[in-house]
Amino acid sequence: MKTKSLISLVIIDDDIDLLELLSSYFRQRGYEVNSYEDARIALSEIESKNVLADVVICDLKLPVMSGLDFIKRIRQFNSVLPVILMTAEGSLELAVESIEAGAYDFVLKPLHVPQLLISVQRAVFLNHVQNENTNLKSLFSDQDFLGLKGVIGKSAGFKKAMELAKRVSGSQANIIIFGESGSGKEVVAKAVHDLGDKKAGPFVAINCSAIPENLLESELFGYAKGAFTGAFGSKIGLFEEANKGTLFLDEIGDLALPLQAKLLRVLQERKIKRIGENQTRDITARVICATHKDLKKEVENGNFREDLYFRLNVIPINMPPLRERKEDILPLSEFFLKKFNLINNVNILGFTKAAMKKLEALTWKGNVRELENAIERAVVLANSEYIDIDDIPGPESSSEESKVSLKNGIPPLFSINNIMSLEDVGKKYIEFIFKKNGYAKEQTAKELCIDRKTLYRKLKELEHGEQPLH
């Protein structure tokens, strides 16, 4: 576990003597104290997350905003923060009213400070238990869309796509999902699978641009023993593997023309032949395709068969890029935070207001995948309980990073003691550009002047050689 920083206490009292006494008393006992004479200022500091309070001690009778009003306002945005009220008026009615308004405890003035300490310690414990409880609950339930585990989003664009996915999940119509790389096309495909009648069957996904053309055919259709040199045994293809389930063909826009013809035939006849075999086999898998490309344009340019386009484009689902559904950024960030908290066994509690603003302001070229990577990195690097603005790589910082790594990173490649092969230098460079572009493949391929297929292959090699890049 990350070491927990100090317990943060907010003390509000217009009596400067008590304010100073309590501040010094609790500081001596290891608390971090923020003190205010005016409850309104304390409220705005807590609300804006400039101050992250674990417990508040507040006087009841304050000149501008009373302790009771303070509690009522706090409860509008924070239902759990314990507030201990202090008062010199010891009526039972007042105590009841305070507790009803949401006060955790009610202590009488003149204060017996050690007694107040006990009340604070109890409140800290309560706060801790409540936070843990809410974290667990929200990870497992409240954000999931349509009951799908780990599928997060509340923007209109996201909901439209997912609701369409739900509606078509029961039908057999062909579905094609459009969206930029990392926007969640596979998530939609999986939702169609999970919500429909194929959910008991397998979900098999393949990225058509990641596999060289000659291998892709045998991957999809399988082959018979001796079908070609090296085919020592027979192999079932993915169409068969996905029987009674779903076959997800990602990056269908990158499929070579001869394979497009074969795919069209399969979709029409719902039968396949393994390579080197004459026997036809029925396929029962539902086929879902996806692409980041504008297929219509690809048809116009002669890169994609028009008949296949019409066959696939029966129900198009469009997943907008993350920058066009900003309302999803914070819920996704919260979800990834919890996920990586669990994976790394740390307990980062959330994001500062400034960090949230930055998350919402960034353009996320690599979409949800880039956001996920950024949160993972922030969880690992954060050195306080809340992820702050500097923990999130920004456009300026990533370009700064590139300058630095170009400046400091290249010389070692050429150092006498560390000579790298040309191939390794190339790989390092690809890795560098890929990271710089926030893991956006399209952009990376463009910048490197290579096609996506080559990029996929190179990235695969990199993943096998080193730690995964995405």
Partner 1 sequence: MYILSEHKLKYLNRRIIDIEELKNSLSQNDFDLPKIIGHRLKGNGVTFGYPLISEIGIALEMGAIAKDKLKILESIDLLIQVVDEGLKLLH
Residue 91 binding partner 1, by CB under 8 A:
no
Report the DSSP pairing between strands 271-273 and 280-282.
antiparallel
Among 4, 5, 24, 397, binds partner 1 (CB under 8 A): 24
Residue 196 binding ligand ATP, by CB under 6 A:
no
Query: Which tokens in the block code for residue 192?
Result: 């169609």
Residue 39 binding ligand ATP, by CB under 6 A:
no
Binding mask 387-426 for ligand ATP (x = CB under 6 A): ----------------------------------------
- Name the residue number minimizing CB distance to ligand ATP: 184
Taking contact as CB under 8 A, which single stretch among the options 42-50, 112-120, 162-170, 262-270 is the one that binds partner 1?
Answer: 112-120
CA distances from 3 to 31, 129, 345 (A): 15, 17, 12
Q: Which does 7 bind (CB under 5 to 8 A by kind): partner 1, ligand ATP, none?
A: none
The nearest distance, CB 123 to partner 1, in angstroms, is: 19
Binding mask 238-277 for ligand ATP (x = CB under 6 A): ------------x---------------------------
Site size for partner 1 (CB under 8 A): 18
Residue 25 binding partner 1, by CB under 8 A:
yes
Q: Which does 18 bind (CB under 5 to 8 A by kind): partner 1, ligand ATP, none?
A: partner 1
Which residues between 51 and 70 bind partner 1 (CB under 8 A)? 61
Closest CB to ligand ATP among 305 and 369? 369
Binding mask 106-145 for ligand ATP (x = CB under 6 A): ----------------------------------------
Taking contact as CB under 8 A, which single stretch among the options 106-114, 206-214, 378-386, 460-468 is the one that binds partner 1?
Answer: 106-114
Query: Which tokens in the block code for residue 438?
Result: 């926030």
Taking contact as CB under 8 A, which single stretch among the options 109-117, 177-185, 303-311, 348-356 is the one that binds partner 1?
Answer: 109-117
Among 34, 127, 174, 181, binds ligand ATP (CB under 6 A): 181
The nearest distance, CB 468 to partner 1, in angstroms, is: 55
Binding mask 318-347 for ligand ATP (x = CB under 6 A): --------------x---------------
Residue 444 binding ligand ATP, by CB under 6 A:
no
Q: Which does 286 bind (CB under 5 to 8 A by kind): ligand ATP, partner 1, none?
A: none
CA distances from 177 to 143, 188, 249, 339, 407 (A): 23, 8, 10, 26, 41
Query: Which tokens in the block code for residue 56?
Result: 């508040």
Binding mask 272-301 for ligand ATP (x = CB under 6 A): --------------------x---------
Closest CB to ligand ATP among 68 and 191? 191
The nearest distance, CB 332 to ligand ATP, in angstroms, is: 6
SS (H, E, C) the chain: CCCCCCCEEEEECCCHHHHHHHHHHHHHCCCEEEEECCHHHHHHHHHCCCCCCCEEEEECCCCCCCHHHHHHHHHCCCCCCCEEEEECCCCHHHHHHHHHHCCCEEEECCCCHHHHHHHHHHHHHHHHHHHHHHHHHHHHHHCCECCECCCCCCCHHHHHHHHHHHHHCCCCCCEEEECCCCCCHHHHHHHHHHHCCCCCCCEEEEECCCCCHHHHHHHHHEECCCCCCCCCCCEECHHHHCCCCEEEEECHHHCCHHHHHHHHHHHHHCEEECECCCCEEECCCEEEEEECCCHHHHHHCCCCCHHHHHHHCCEEEECCCHHHCHHHHHHHHHHHHHHHHHHHCCCCCEECHHHHHHHHHCCCCCHHHHHHHHHHHHHHHCCCCEECHHHCCCHHHHHHHHHHHHHHHHHHHCCCCCCCCHHHHHHHHHHHHHHHCCCCHHHHHHHHCCCHHHHHHHHHHHHHHCCCCC
Binding site for ligand ATP (CB under 6 A): 150-153, 179, 181-187, 250, 292, 332, 368-369, 372, 441
Binding site for partner 1 (CB under 8 A): 14-18, 20-21, 24-25, 61, 86, 88, 109-114
